[in-house]
C-alpha cells in the first residue's frame, strides 16, 4: 500500500468517517423535514377537524397548523436552524477526515521509520558479527587478551538482536492500527508499505510561528464548524421564543412558568459554543506553534546529524586505512568509530520521516 491509496481509503472506508457521513446525510434530510413543516399537510386529525368545522365554524382554528403552517415564525427559524446544523455537520465531517488522514500519515511514517531502524540494526548486527569473529580469531592467535573483546562484541550482538525483536513487535501493532484506520482487517489488511522519497531538508524549510498560526486559524475546519453551530444555536433560541404562537409546537415551549427558563437554557447553549470556539482556537494555536517548533528543530538537528555522519565516515576511513597499514585490526577501536556512524544514519532517516509527518 502507498500513502495516497491509504488516504483515499480513509475518506470512504474508515469506520469513523462512514459514521460521520451518515450524520451529514441525516442533517440534510432534517432540512427537508423542516421545509415540509412549512407546507400544508393532511392527516386524520385534519380531516376530522375539517368535518367538525362544517358544523361548528369555531373549530376552524384547529386547522391553521396543518393548512397554513408557514404563518408561524418558529417554523422558518427551524428551517434556518436545520440548514446551519447541516453546514456544521459538513465541516465536522471534513475536520474528522482531515484528522483521520493525519493519523494515518503519522502511522505510515512511524512504520517506515521502524522498518528503516530495523534495517540499520540488521546491518549493524552483521557488522558486529564480523567484529566478533575477528576478535575470537585474534584472541586465539594471542594478539589480544582472551575473553574481553569477544564477550564485549557478543553482548553488543545480543543487545541489537533484542532491539530488533522489540521493533518487529511494535511494527506488527502499528500495521494493525494502520489497517483499521484504513478500513482493512487488522490481521490480513496491510503487510507492506511503499517507500517514500523524503525531500531535501535545509534551513530554507524553517517556519515562522506567526504566519503559520494565522493561516491555520483561518483554515481551521473545527472552528468553522463551531461558528455554524453558534449561528444554529441562535436560531434555536428564536424557535423557542416564537413557539408559543404555533398550536402544534412542543407543549413545554408554551408561555408559562418554564418559558423564561427555556430561553435561558438556549442562551447558555449559545455561550457554550462561543467558549468552545475560543478554546478550540487556542488549542489550534498551541498545536501549530508546537508543530512549527518541531519542524524547526528537525531542520537544525538534521544539519547536525549530517555533519556527524560525514565526520564519522571520515573517521572510519582514517581508522581502517591506518589499521591496514599497520597490518592489524583493533575490533574494539572499530566499534568505537562505527557506533556514532550508525546513530547518525538512523537519526537522519528518522528525522526525514518525522519532518514529512509534521509537514
Q: Mind spelling out the 3-state secondary structure of 265-289? A: HHHHHHHHHHHHHHHHHHHHHHHHH
Instruction: Kindly tell me if the per-residue pLDDT of 12 is higher than 50.
Output: yes
pLDDT, residue 236, reads 95
Q: What is the mean pLDDT of residues 7-32?
A: 91
Task: Tell me the helix, strand and coil percentages in the chain, rounded to 5.
Answer: 85, 0, 15
CA of 160: how far to CAs of 80, 151, 318, in Å? 64, 14, 26
What predicted TM-score, i.e. pTM, was given to this entire model? 0.78
Determine the Cα–Cα distance for residues 17 and 10; give it in Å rounded to an integer. Answer: 7
Q: Which three cell numbers stand for residue 172?
A: 506488527
DSSP letters for 19-77: HHHHHHHHHHHHHHHHHHTTS----HHHHHHHHHHHH-GGGGGGGHHHHSGGG-HHHHH
Q: Average model confidence (pLDDT) for the chain?
A: 85
Query: Chain-centre distance of CA 193, in angstroms?
Result: 19
- List the Cα angle 67/70/76 in 5-degree steps: 150
8 Å CB contact between 178 and 104: yes
Q: What is the mean pLDDT of residues 139-151?
A: 81
Q: What is the mean pLDDT of residues 175-195?
A: 84
**pLDDT classification of 60: cutoffs 50, 70, 90:** very low
Instruction: Kindly tell me if the per-residue pLDDT of 106 is higher than 60.
Output: yes
- List the Cα angle 104/109/111 in 5-degree steps: 95
pLDDT, residue 107, reads 87
8 Å CB contact between 186 and 176: yes
Determine the Cα–Cα distance for residues 3 and 194; give it in Å rounded to an integer. Answer: 8
8 Å CB contact between 358 and 109: no
Determine the Cα–Cα distance for residues 127 and 349; give it in Å rounded to an integer. Answer: 19
CA of 190: how far to CAs of 34, 100, 351, in Å? 45, 17, 24
Sequence-ordered list of residues with C-beta below 8 angstroms from that of 226, at least 6 positions apart, any chain: 88, 273, 276, 277, 280
Determine the Cα–Cα distance for residues 50 and 65; give it in Å rounded to an integer. Answer: 12
Instruction: Kindly tell me if the per-residue pLDDT of 335 is higher than 90.
Output: no
Instruction: Kindly tell me if the per-residue pLDDT of 73 is higher than 50.
Output: yes
Determine the Cα–Cα distance for residues 46 and 43; give it in Å rounded to an integer. Answer: 5
Instruction: Kindly tell me if the per-residue pLDDT of 190 is higher than 70.
Output: yes
Q: What is the mean pLDDT of residues 342-352?
A: 84
pLDDT over 90 percentage in the chain: 31
Q: What is the mean pLDDT of residues 315-322?
A: 88
Span between the terminal Cα atoms of the chain, in Å: 21
Nearest to 233 by CA among 204, 170, 276, 200: 276
Query: Chain-centre distance of CA 96, in angstroms?
Result: 8
Determine the Cα–Cα distance for residues 248 and 67; give it in Å rounded to an integer. Answer: 12
**pLDDT classification of 46: cutoffs 50, 70, 90:** low
pLDDT, residue 120, reads 84
pLDDT, residue 58, reads 46
CB atoms within 10 A of CB 71: 13
8 Å CB contact between 120 and 349: yes
**pLDDT classification of 334: cutoffs 50, 70, 90:** confident
Tens of pLDDT, residue by residue over 150-173, are 888 888 889 888 989 998 998 888
Q: What is the mean pLDDT of residues 19-27?
A: 94
pLDDT, residue 63, reads 57
Tens of pLDDT, residue by residue over 227-240, are 999 999 999 999 99
Q: How many residues does the chain have?
A: 359
Among 83-97, 192-206, 209-223, 277-291, the least confident range: 192-206
Angle, helices 148-181 vs 331-358, to 10°: value is 10
Determine the Cα–Cα distance for residues 199 and 302; give it in Å rounded to an integer. Answer: 12
Cell 488516504 maps to which residue?
7
Among 86-90, 107-111, 200-204, 219-223, the least confident range: 200-204
SS3 296: helix
Amino acid at each position: 500500500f502507498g500513502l495516497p491509496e491509504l488516504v483515499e481509503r480513509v475518506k470512504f472506508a474508515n469506520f469513523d468517517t462512514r459514521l460521520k457521513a451518515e450524520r451529514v446525510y441525516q442533517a440534510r434530510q432534517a432540512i427537508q423535514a423542516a421545509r415540509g413543516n412549512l407546507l400544508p399537510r393532511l392527516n386524520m386529525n385534519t380531516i376530522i377537524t375539517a368535518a367538525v368545522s362544517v358544523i361548528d365554524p369555531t373549530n376552524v382554528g384547529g386547522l391553521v397548523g396543518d393548512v397554513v403552517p408557514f404563518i408561524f415564525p418558529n417554523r422558518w427559524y427551524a428551517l434556518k436552524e436545520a440548514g446551519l446544523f447541516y453546514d456544521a455537520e459538513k465541516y465536522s465531517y471534513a475536520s474528522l477526515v482531515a484528522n483521520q488522514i493525519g493519523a494515518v500519515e503519522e502511522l505510515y511514517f512511524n512504520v517506515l521509520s521502524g522498518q528503516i531502524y530495523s534495517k540499520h540494526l540488521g546491518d549493524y548486527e552483521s557488522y558486529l558479527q564480523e567484529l566478533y569473529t575477528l576478535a575470537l580469531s585474534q584472541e586465539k592467535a594471542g594478539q589480544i587478551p582472551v575473553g574481553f573483546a569477544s564477550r564485549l562484541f557478543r553482548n553488543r550482538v545480543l543487545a541489537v538482536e533484542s532491539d530488533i525483536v522489540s521493533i518487529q513487535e511494535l511494527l506488527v501493532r502499528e500495521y494493525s492500527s494502520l489497517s483499521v484506520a484504513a478500513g482493512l482487517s487488522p490481521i490480513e489488511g496491510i503487510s507492506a508499505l511503499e517507500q517514500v522519497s523524503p525531500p531535501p531538508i535545509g534551513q530554507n524549510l524553517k517556519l515562522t510561528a506567526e504566519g503559520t498560526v494565522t493561516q491555520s486559524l483561518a483554515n481551521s475546519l473545527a472552528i468553522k464548524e463551531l461558528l455554524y453551530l453558534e449561528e444554529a444555536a441562535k436560531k434555536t433560541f428564536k424557535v423557542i421564543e416564537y413557539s408559543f404562537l404555533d398550536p402544534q409546537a412542543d407543549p413545554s415551549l408554551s408561555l408559562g412558568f418554564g418559558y423564561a427558563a427555556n430561553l435561558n437554557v438556549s442562551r447558555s447553549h449559545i455561550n457554550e459554543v462561543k467558549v468552545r470556539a475560543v478554546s478550540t482556537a487556542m488549542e489550534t494555536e498551541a498545536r501549530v506553534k508546537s508543530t512549527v517548533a518541531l519542524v524547526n528543530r528537525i531542520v537544525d538537528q538534521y544539519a547536525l546529524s549530517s555533519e556527524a555522519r560525514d565526520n564519522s565516515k571520515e573517521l572510519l576511513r582514517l581508522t581502517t586505512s591506518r589499521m591496514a597499514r599497520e597490518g592489524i585490526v583493533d575490533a574494539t577501536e572499530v566499534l568505537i568509530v562505527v557506533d556514532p556512524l550508525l546513530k547518525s544514519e538512523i537519526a537522519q532517516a528518522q528525522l526525514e520521516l518525522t519532518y514529512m509527518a509534521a509537514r
